[in-house]
Structure 1
Amino acid sequence: MKKTAFFAMTMLAAPTLAIAQTETAPATPEVIAHGADIVSASCASCHTPRNSAGEQATDPADPTFLGGNDMGGWWAPSLRGGGTAQYGIANWSADDIAEYLATGRNQYAAVGGMMKGVVERSTSTMSPDDLTAIAAFLKSVPADEQTAAAKPGEPESTTARLTAAVDLSLGERLYIDNCGACHFVDGQGGARIFPVLDGASIVNAPVAGGLIETILNGAETPSTEGGPSKNLMPAFGGRLTDEEVAALATFVRQAWTNTADAVTPEDVADLR
């Protein structure tokens, strides 16, 4: 009965999308400088940590500038987008970044937490030129050594275990029963509908609060001019115990190419 209800909700959560994909122009020094002004006045306040004196780095050469920050249990991920990286927007193109800011989703991810409000009230109303500038600047900021680390092992082993469905752990069983219909056994989801979990920033964050709260409370993408359809992820807090949520979150954080720390039942209980 519960599984039937879940599949019904996920079908309702997958309407035909009408998303206006932004195409960014080649970056010029002037465009990058304009993007730097916007990012420094807005994005940096959440994505740059503060030191003991409450100060934040402002120089892109400083690896803490846009290097990721704990926002009360939700991790504001690194926005240092230059080069290649294990996780995060360094793997996105400038077009991917602009689309995410304009619509709240792209082929890899969907907004959640406080970022949903940022897209609804701010970035989705920006001009294409502003979005182009932001994306160009972020792609010009080099990834730090930790972000740019080589990817870990190939994800086929996780995919094979979930496909075979033999002698599965609790976390693996919970994933198949509750998540696999949308995010699939390879963790790749469906572009612009169901986010990718393999390599996702929210999954690999140093703090797991964002992932735990998303499992407990569900999520919904914003309705924007470029992406008017809302996609809904149901809440699982009412059907899964703290131990089950911890097992599920731990599995996802360590599946495929993900390498994050385990989640405990106490971590989950603190966020209910």
Structure 2
Amino acid sequence: MRRRFRGSLAVTALLLTTASSFAGDTDPQAFTQIERGRYLTILSDCASCHTVPDSSQPFAGGRPIETPFGNIVAPNITPDPETGVGSWSDEQFDAAVRKGIGRNGSRLYPAMPYNAYTKMSRDDVLAIRAYLNTVPPVGNAVIANTLPFPFNIRTAMRVWDALYFKEGDYRPDPKQSVEWNRGAYLVDGPGHCGACHTPKTFLGGDKTDQYLQGSYLQGWSAPDITNNSRLGLGGWSKEDLVSYLKSGHNRVTAATGPMGEVVTLSTAHMTDPDLNAIATYLKSLPGKTEQASPLSANEPTMAAGAAIYRDQCSACHGLDGKGVAELFPSIADSSMARSDDPTTSIRIILRGARSVGTSAQPTAPGMPSYGRQLDDNEVAAVLTYMRNSWGGAAGAVAADQVSKVRLDTALRPD
């Protein structure tokens, strides 16, 4: 329920600005709070929602956030006193971020992930406020609630909060290491990874029994990021995960789509200790356990898919599906390719994709679109082949699944 892919150089430059840039005659203690707030803003990925892509007005709001119930427009959080948060009290700001209560006392929608941000401390939130007070104020009045009836009735959020919101700071697990606890705090708190990666109920609340096991949002299937060996990160080392978060690339895959924006605006700018903490925590999560049997290579769909793969895909990804490390993803090692929900794989074949470029990996290889070259049956066949080759196993992709994604992506500008 969070974001669409596209970055903003203006936002990245602002996020990387250090507290020393705001020196002037300010108290040194304020520098520390501002710098801490700047980093917490990166951890919380505030720029992704509150900045219109490619605009020169960071945090000025106006970006539509797609939800299953309609679009919500992210508000202006610059210090403009009329249309931003400049005239808000610290109490009002903290209540909005950690409790989901707006300035006028109305309930916020969980497109603003206050159910995750509640794990931050009040000091954390006020540090973010201190940093936001240093960004250029922008006069931009935003009407946030654009949901259709009856979802536009905010009082209904009292029921949602009662079902899905548990207020309170993160409490460390004394049985776990300091690094593990830091990772849990980052994933469940400011990073709000569950907003995309935890499946949702029909009311949009987290299915806690399927924590971080993959979900669908905004035309993409977010993958399982537990340590599940077949569908999740079980085939990745801790170093693979750190490399992916820092550079957008590793020996297995590259970040595209909404995750590309997360890398560009957030994880690429995190400290190495924090990235290692996230990796330690995620690798500790077992996820669901299940087995699958591969389809026979003699199946007609597998034979057709093999021919299409050799003709269209093997030049980059290799006949063995291994690709080229840090350049072309390894399909043979990809859990995403074998996801229970093949939406992202279908979408990438139909529309192509561009990986992210970061300071650690400035090259951003892309994959061409095959949407015009391959029909729905052919896309289904080649994906079925890739999902059941090189030791992998997953259900066959049906042509009507491809048709559905083709129709959905045709209506999307991104």
TM (norm. structure 1) is: 0.75
Of the three residues 233, 246, 263, the one matched with 2:380 is 246
Q: How well do the aligned residues superpose, as a CA RMSD in angstroms?
A: 2.5
Question: Which residue of 2 is the match for residue 102 of structure 1?
Answer: 246
Deviation of the 1:121 alpha carbon:
1.3
Of the three residues 326, 340, 348, the one matched with 1:192 is 326
Question: Which residue of 2 is the match for residue 268 of structure 1?
Answer: 402
SS in 2 for 1:171: helix
Deviation of the 1:221 alpha carbon:
1.0
User: 2:189 aligned with 1:45, yes or no?
Assistant: no
C-alpha distance 152-105 of structure 1, shift in aligned 2 (>3 A):
farther
| Residue-by-residue CA offset, 1:144-203 (whole Å, 9 max, x unaligned) | 323xx5x867x9x97xx9xxxxxx822111100110111111111111111111241221
The answer to whether the 8 Å contact 1:103/1:119 transfers is yes
Question: Which residue of 1 is the match for residue 368 of structure 2?
Answer: 234
Of the three residues 127, 134, 153, the one matched with 2:278 is 134
Look up the equivalent residue of 1:68 and give its one-letter code. Answer: G
Look up the equivalent residue of 2:206 and give its one-letter code. Answer: Q
User: 2:175 aligned with 1:31, yes or no?
Assistant: no
Unaligned runs of 5+ in 2: 1-175, 407-414
Deviation of the 1:101 alpha carbon:
0.4
| Residue-by-residue CA offset, 1:120-140 (whole Å, 9 max, x unaligned) | 111111111211111111122
C-alpha distance in structure 1 between counterparts of 2:182 and 2:331, whole Å: 32
SS in 2 for 1:91: coil
Question: Which residue of 1 is the match for residue 224 of structure 2?
Answer: 78
Deviation of the 1:32 alpha carbon:
1.1
Moved over 4 A (4+): none
> Identity, % of aligned pairs?
36
C-alpha distance in structure 1 between counterparts of 2:288 and 2:384, whole Å: 26
The answer to whether the 8 Å contact 1:152/1:257 transfers is no
C-alpha distance in structure 2 between counterparts of 1:133 and 1:113, whole Å: 24
C-alpha distance in structure 2 between counterparts of 1:53 and 1:217, whole Å: 30
C-alpha distance in structure 1 between counterparts of 2:256 and 2:276, whole Å: 22
SS in 2 for 1:244: helix
Look up the equivalent residue of 1:50 and give its one-letter code. Answer: K
SS in 2 for 1:89: coil
The answer to whether the 8 Å contact 1:88/1:199 transfers is no
Deviation of the 1:107 alpha carbon:
0.7
Question: Which residue of 2 is the match for residue 164 of structure 1?
Answer: none
User: 2:370 aligned with 1:222, yes or no?
Assistant: no
Question: Which residue of 2 is the match for residue 13 of structure 1?
Answer: none
Question: Which residue of 2 is the match for residue 178 of structure 1?
Answer: 312
Deviation of the 1:112 alpha carbon:
2.3
TM (norm. structure 2) is: 0.50
Look up the equivalent residue of 1:170 and give its one-letter code. Answer: A
Deviation of the 1:115 alpha carbon:
0.9
Look up the equivalent residue of 2:394 and give its one-letter code. Answer: A
C-alpha distance 219-34 of structure 1, shift in aligned 2 (>3 A):
same
C-alpha distance in structure 2 between counterparts of 1:50 and 1:152, whole Å: 27
The answer to whether the 8 Å contact 2:197/2:225 transfers is yes
Deviation of the 1:75 alpha carbon:
2.4
Larger Rg: 2
C-alpha distance in structure 1 between counterparts of 2:347 and 2:288, whole Å: 28
C-alpha distance in structure 2 between counterparts of 1:243 and 1:117, whole Å: 31
Deviation of the 1:53 alpha carbon:
5.3
Deviation of the 1:244 alpha carbon:
1.8
Deviation of the 1:93 alpha carbon:
1.4
Comparing 32-41 and 85-94, the one that deviates more: 85-94
**Higher RCO (CA-CA < 8 Å; seq separation 6+):** 1
